[in-house]
Amino acid sequence: MVQVKDSQLLDAETFARLHAQAHQETEVKRIALVASKGTLDMAYPPLILATTAAAMGQEAAIFFTFYGLDILNKKRLARLKVPPLANPAMPVPVPNIVGAIPGMTAMATWMMGRMMRKQKMPTVPQFLDLAKQLRVRLIACTTTMGIMGISKEDLVDGVELQGAAAFLEYASQAQVTLFV
Amino acid sequence: MAEVSIDQVVDTKGELCPMPVVRARLAMDKLRPGQVLQVVATDPASCDDFPAWCRAQKHTLVESRQAQGVYTYLIRKGG
C-alpha cells in the first residue's frame, strides 16, 4: 500500500494506479464463518450463507469448531437435532418442563425436518455437497478434533484441517466474518 | 421486445432462498458467456436476490416478470 499524506495532491497517474490497486484488492470478496454449534437449527445458517456467497462468486470458508464439528462428522451430520429446552421459538411453544421429557428432542427434530422437507430445503448432507460443488472451504478445527478424539477419517471427504492462526489469517482478509 | 432465445431453464418453484440463486449458479456454470438462463421461482426474496446476484457475477438481468406469484428471470451470462 502506498502511503499518501493528507496535504499531498495526487497526480492523475498516481491516482489511477491507487484506484486500480484498491479496486483489485476488493474485487474478489471473501466471507469467513465460524460454525460452533452442533444442532440442526444452527447448522443451516453458516451452510446457507457460505453456499450463497460462493454462488455470488465470493470466496467462502467455514471453520467448524467445538460442537460445530458434528456438522462434518460422518456419523452425526445426518442426525443433528433440535433442542426443545430453553427454546422459546419453537413453532408450538413448549414449556421447558415439557421439553425436558424424553422424546421431546426427537419430536422437535422431526418437526423441523418436516418443515424443511415441505419447503424443499436441502438436508445438511445435501448442503455440504452443494458447498463442496461451489468450492466452499470446509475447515475442521484441529484443536476440537484433539479434544473430542476425532480423526480425519471420521469427517466427510474434502475437509481441510486447520488451526486458529491459519483461519484468522484467512479471516483477516475477509469483508464478512460471522460467528454462528 | 425482441424475442430472447433461452439456452437453459431452471425451475425452482416451491424452493426458498438461497436455493434459486444456488441452482442458477450451478446451471450458469455450464453455459457460455452470452447464453441466456431462464429461472422460474416462487420465492419472493428472488426479486432482490437475482439483481444482486447478477451485479456480483457481472451477468445481465435481461428481463424479470411476475404473474400469479411466479417470478421469471432471463439472465444473460457475463464474462
Q: What is the CATH number of the domain that holds B15?
A: 3.30.110.40
pLDDT at B23: 97
Owning domain of residue A169: 30-179
Query: How far B6 CA lies from chain A's nearest CA (Å)?
Result: 21
pLDDT digits (tens, 9 = 90+) for A33-82: 999 999 999 999 999 999 999 999 999 999 999 999 999 999 999 999 99
What CATH number is given to the structural domain containing A44?
3.40.1260.10
Query: Does residue B18 sit at the A interface (CB-CB below 8 Å)?
Result: yes
The answer as to whether B15 is a domain residue is yes
Mean of pLDDT over chain A: 90
The answer as to whether A174 is a domain residue is yes
Sort out which chain A residues have CB atoms less than 8 A from B15's CB and list them.
119-121
Owning domain of residue B29: 8-76
How many CA atoms within 13 Å lie on the side-chain side of A72?
33
pLDDT at A6: 57
Torsion B56-B19-A129-A70 (CA) sign: positive
Total tally of structural domains belonging to chain B: 1
How many Cβ atoms are within 10 Å of A91's Cβ, its own excluded?
A: 9
The answer as to whether A105 is a domain residue is yes
A90 neighbors A108 (Cβ within 8 angstroms):
yes
Determine whether the interchain pair B53/A122 forms a contact, defined as Cβ–Cβ distance below 8 Å: no
Distance, in Å, from the CA atom of A77 to the CA atom of A80, rounded to the nearest integer, reads 6
Query: Does residue A163 sit at the B interface (CB-CB below 8 Å)?
Result: no
Residues of chain A with pLDDT under 70: 1-9, 21-26
Cβ-based burial of B35 (10 A; exposed 0-12, middle 13-18, buried ≥19): middle
pLDDT at A5: 59
Name the residue with cell 451477468: B59
Determine whether the interchain pair B16/A56 forms a contact, defined as Cβ–Cβ distance below 8 Å: no
- Exactly one of B17, B19, B45, B61 is catalytic; which is it? B17
Distance, in Å, from the CA atom of B41 to the CA atom of B39, rounded to the nearest integer, reads 6
The answer as to whether A20 is a domain residue is no
Query: Does residue B42 sit at the A interface (CB-CB below 8 Å)?
Result: no
Total tally of structural domains belonging to chain A: 1
Is B17 labeled as catalytic in the residue annotation? yes
Return the residue in B12, B13, B19 with the most chain A beta carbons within 10 A, the one to mutate for interface testing: B19
Edge-to-edge strand ranges of the sheet holding A160-162: A160-162, A137-141, A59-64, A30-35, A176-179
Determine whether the interchain pair B57/A57 forms a contact, defined as Cβ–Cβ distance below 8 Å: yes
Residue of A nearest to B43 (CA): A119
The answer as to whether B42 is a domain residue is yes
- Partner residue facing B14 (CB), from A29, A54, A120: A120
Query: How far B15 CA lies from chain A's nearest CA (Å)?
Result: 6
pLDDT at A91: 75
CB burial string A130-146: b at 16+ within 10 A, e below = bbbebebbbbbbbebbe
The answer as to whether B53 is a domain residue is yes
The answer as to whether A158 is a domain residue is yes
Please give the interface size between A and B, counted as residue pairs whose CB atoms are below 8 Å apart. 43
Determine whether the interchain pair A119/B15 forms a contact, defined as Cβ–Cβ distance below 8 Å: yes
B70 neighbors B42 (Cβ within 8 angstroms):
yes
Query: How far B71 CA lies from chain A's nearest CA (Å)?
Result: 17
Residues of chain B with pLDDT under 70: 1-2
